[in-house]
Amino acid sequence: MEAMSSQWQPAPPIQFPEHLQEPPPAAPQQPQRPWWRRSLATLLVIGALLLKVGKAALLLIPKAKVLTTSASMLVSVAAYSLIWGWRFALGFVLLMLVHEMGHVIQLRREGIEASAPMFIPFLGAAVMAKSLGNDATAEARVGLAGPVLGTIGALAIVPIAVTTGDEFWYALAFTGLLLNLFNLLPVVPLDGGRAMAALSPWMWFVGLFAMALLTFTYPNPILILILLLGAYETYRRWKARQSGDPAVNAYYRVKPAHRAIIAAVYLGLIAVCAIGMGLTFVERDIPG
């Protein structure tokens, strides 16, 4: 007799109509943290990341001066591009670089270690150094070296403008010359104020008056900042001179021959920049 086997299967579940089915039990809700705790946790995470990035930057910056200068230049180009477009912004920043390299070269000729130029959008650029020289003559040389090289850089654009006839190059040369002429105002911390340390410190007050007049006529944050810095620096220097300190008097003691050379360079730069601006000025009709 053949054995027969069978496999037992459970009966299918009974399906009730949907309207008779009980809804599944709801999952227990986790209590939500208050908003200030969530924000605090996010800020702590961001702060930790910034701390790590900041430590890495502090270790990298001293070893990458050229990279730091390049980065600040790119930031300045991006900032000025919002106003003038990238081509003019790039040319303007390069002209500032030429100007600042004049200071760097002369500082190193004076035996003073100088940093690479650092660019600050809408404020210009700066070179860091422990001093500007041993006396006012050295300070004047360092101060005028920037406008000398900067003016040469701006004048180098003029042949390109004449050859191409492109107003872009005329405008760039004009702006470069204007930049150097502005820096020759006889007020510290501008380059002209450095020159006045060797020529006639009384001119600092004339420069302050001119800066105040310029700020009143064309008010903007940059001029206000220069005016405030100039007022403070002039007060500090003049007070030091009136103290009668022999070291301060020795600092401002300048040989007549040196004073004549500095005056010739200073006045010559003003004349070259003014004449160059007249030759590169392009008159534009502004629709009314």
Give the pTM: 0.74
Give domain limits for the chain.
46-280
14-72 pLDDT per residue, tens: 454 554 555 555 555 555 555 445 545 554 555 555 555 444 444 444 444 555 788 88
The three-state secondary structure class of 124 is strand
Would you say 261 and 144 are in contact if contact means Cβ atoms under 8 Å apart? no
Residues whose CB is less than 8 angstroms from the CB of residue 243 and which lie 6 or more positions away in sequence, other chains included: none
Per DSSP, 20 falls in state: G
What are phi and psi for residue 124, nearest 5 degrees? 110, -135
Query: Among residues 191, 185, 238, which one has the least CA distance to residue 212?
Result: 185
131-146 pLDDT per residue, tens: 888 899 999 999 999 9
Distances (CA, A) of 117 to 96, 150, 175: 9, 14, 20
| pLDDT-derived band at 122, boundaries 50, 70, 90 | confident
